[in-house]
Chain A
Amino acid sequence: MNFPVIKGTGYVLVHAPNMMLEHGTTITVEKAKNPGSDFLKAIPDHIRSFEETVKYAPNQVYIGNLSPRDLETIPQPWFENFVEDADRQGKYGEIMPEKELYGLMKIVDRFELVELNEEFSAEIKEILKAKDIFTENQLALFDKPKSMDEISALVKNDTAKGLYDGDKLLGCVREAHESDPCLTADVVFENLVTKASGVLAMIALFKKNNIDPSEVDYIIEASEEAIGDMNQRGGGNMAKACGEVAGCINATGIDMRGFCAGPSHAFVNAAGLVQSGIFKNVVVMAGGCTAKLGMNGRDHINKKMPLVEDMIGGFAVLVSENDGVNPVIRTDILGKHKISSGSAPQAVIQAIVVDPLTASGMKISDIDVFAPELQNPEITVPAGAGDVPVANYKMIGAMAIKRGELEKKELMEFTKKHGVIGFAPTQGHIPSGVPLIGYIRDSMLAGEMTNAMLIGKGSLFLGRMTDLFDGISFIIQKNSGELSMGQDSSASDEFKQEIREMIAEAMQGIADSLARR
Chain B
Amino acid sequence: MDMANQARIKETAEKFGKDSVVVILGGGEAESAGLTAETVMTGDPTFAGPLTNVALQLPVYHLFELKDLIDPAVYEEQVSMMEMVLDVDEIIAEMDNIRKECSE
Contacts and interface: CB of A to CB of B under 8 A. Distances in A.
A and B: interacting chains: yes
A213 B77 CA distance: 49
A27 B60 CA distance: 32
B81 interface: yes
A391 B85 contact: yes
B79 interface: yes
Contact of A391 (B28, B31, B77): B28
Contacts of B32: 384
Interface string A339-350: 000101111010
Interface string B8-47: 0000000000000000000011011000000000000000
Contacts of B77: 346
Interface string B58-85: 0000000000000000000111111011
Interface string A387-402: 0000100110011011
A333 B32 CA distance: 37
Contacts, number: 37
A384 B31 contact: yes
A342 B28 CA distance: 18
Contact of B29 (A386, A394, A398, A401): A386
A304 interface: no
Contacts of A394: 84-85
Interface in A360-413: 384-386, 391, 394-395, 398-399, 401-402, 408, 411
B35 to A, nearest CB: 8
Given A384-B32, A391-B28, A398 B85 contact: yes
7 contacts: A342-B78, A344-B79, A386-B29, A391-B85, A395-B85, A401-B84, A402-B84
A344 B26 CA distance: 10
Determine which residue in A342, A345, A347, A394 has the highest number of CB atoms from chain B within 10 A of its CB, and name it: A345
Contacts of A395: 81-82, 85
B: contact size bracket: 10 to 19
Nearest to A392: B85
B84 A346 contact: no
B29 A346 contact: no
A128 B28 CA distance: 47
Given A394-B85, A411-B84, A346 B31 contact: no
A402 B80 contact: yes
A349 B28 contact: no
Contacts of B81: 345-346, 349, 395, 398-399, 402
Contacts of A391: 28, 85
B78 to A, nearest CB: 4
Contacts of A384: 29, 31-32
A346 B28 contact: no
Given A391-B85, A398-B84, A347 B78 contact: yes
Nearest to B30: A384
A394 B87 CA distance: 12
A347 B79 CA distance: 9
A273 to B, nearest CB: 35
Interface string B82-93: 101100000000
Determine which residue in B28, B29, B84, B85 has the highest number of CB atoms from chain A within 10 A of its CB, and name it: B85
A391 B29 CA distance: 11
A386 B28 CA distance: 9
B79 to A, nearest CB: 7
A155 to B, nearest CB: 30
Contacts of A402: 80-81, 84
A485 B32 CA distance: 49
A408 B83 CA distance: 12
A399 B77 CA distance: 11
Nearest to A33: B48
Contacts of B85: 391, 394-395, 398
B82 A345 contact: yes
Ranked 5 nearest A-B pairs via Cβ: A398-B84, A346-B81, A394-B85, A344-B78, A398-B81
Given A346-B77, A349-B81, A399-B81, 6 more contacts: A346-B79, A346-B81, A347-B78, A394-B84, A394-B85, A411-B84
Nearest to B29: A386
Nearest to B28: A386
Contacts of A386: 28-29
A398 B83 CA distance: 9
B78 A408 contact: no
